[in-house]
Amino acid sequence: MGSNSAKRSAFAPRGEPLIHGINTIGLWSLYKKEVRRFLKVQTQTVWAPAVTTLLFLVIFTVALGRSGREVLGVPFATFVAPGLIVMGMMQNAFANSSFSLLSGKIQGTIIDLLMPPLSVGELMAGIIGAAITRAVMVGCAVALAMAFYPGVSLSVAHPWAVIWFGLMGAALLALLGLLTSIWAEKFDHNAAVTNFVIAPLSLLSGTFYVIDNLAPLFQSISRANPFFYVISGFRFGFLGRSDIGDTNLVVLHGALGLLAFNLVLAFLVYRVLKSGWKLKD
């Protein structure tokens, strides 16, 4: 009888967590699971976006870059290349995180993500970390493809801006994708957000033009688009010039604003995920 009491006392009281701090093993396992999921079809998830983005470059340089046209003092192909790279990164970060919870809800395997001893923050970190990883891989693949395209120079003027805005842009879309994954109930909902929100914001953010060419009203609308700061800041990293400024100090203001926006969005996603909305109903 005494031995049974000793065995029972060896276990923590019911409801008391056994894992204190960060569950590093669980977090790493979730991250690896999400990365392996998209790497199993890397032809579709990594290399296909590189080809698609390169086709964008070919079409727009042929249509708009004739007669030695220059934008911000560089050839049009060199001007548009950074925007296309980070646009590909952002769209694929969204695609990756928006699929994670949605596929589980549709297939009935959402319990596999909700039952393990992972906190809400750890669940977010694993999914968003994998989405950013895919974005970085896509960005490298796109840059590699563009390096062989005639007339494109990818020399880096400010490495900090390339790294910062690339990661912040990927994190922004990964958070939006996770929020979409929580809200969506079928793949049509996910596609609607992609087609009617993400694609327009990406294409109308100065990827193919400078906003000085727009009317004042549309310039103001562009400056309210967070995608604009990601693309302009990323372009500044390569060219040393952008729509938001030509000096480190001015661009740094945009970088800090983007960080603040991401922190607010991350808090919103955290609260929604913690509430169990459309996940535990």
For residue 67, what pLDDT is reported?
62
Assigned token pair, 228: 């604009």
Confidence of residue 275 (pLDDT cuts 50, 70, 90): very high
pLDDT cut 90: percent of the chain above it: 58
Taking only the tens place, the pLDDT of each residue in 90-128 is 999 999 999 989 988 888 888 888 888 889 999 999 999
pLDDT cut 70: percent of the chain above it: 91
Taking only the tens place, the pLDDT of each residue in 70-98 is 888 888 889 999 999 999 999 999 999 99
Task: Give the separation between CA 263 and CA 257, rounded to whole angstroms.
Answer: 10
CB 239 within 8 A of CB 86: no
Assigned token pair, 262: 């991401």
For residue 63, what pLDDT is reported?
76
For residue 65, what pLDDT is reported?
61
Q: What is the mean pLDDT of the chain?
A: 89
Across 87-96, 166-175, 205-214, least confident range: 205-214
| Half-sphere CA count of 197, side-chain side, radius 13 A | 14
- Taking the CA atoms of the chain, what radius of gyration do you get in angstroms? 22
Taking only the tens place, the pLDDT of each residue in 128-166 is 999 999 999 999 999 998 988 888 889 999 999 999 999
pLDDT at 201 over 70: yes
For residue 58, what pLDDT is reported?
86
For residue 149, what pLDDT is reported?
85
Task: Give the separation between CA 127 and CA 173, rounded to whole angstroms.
Answer: 12
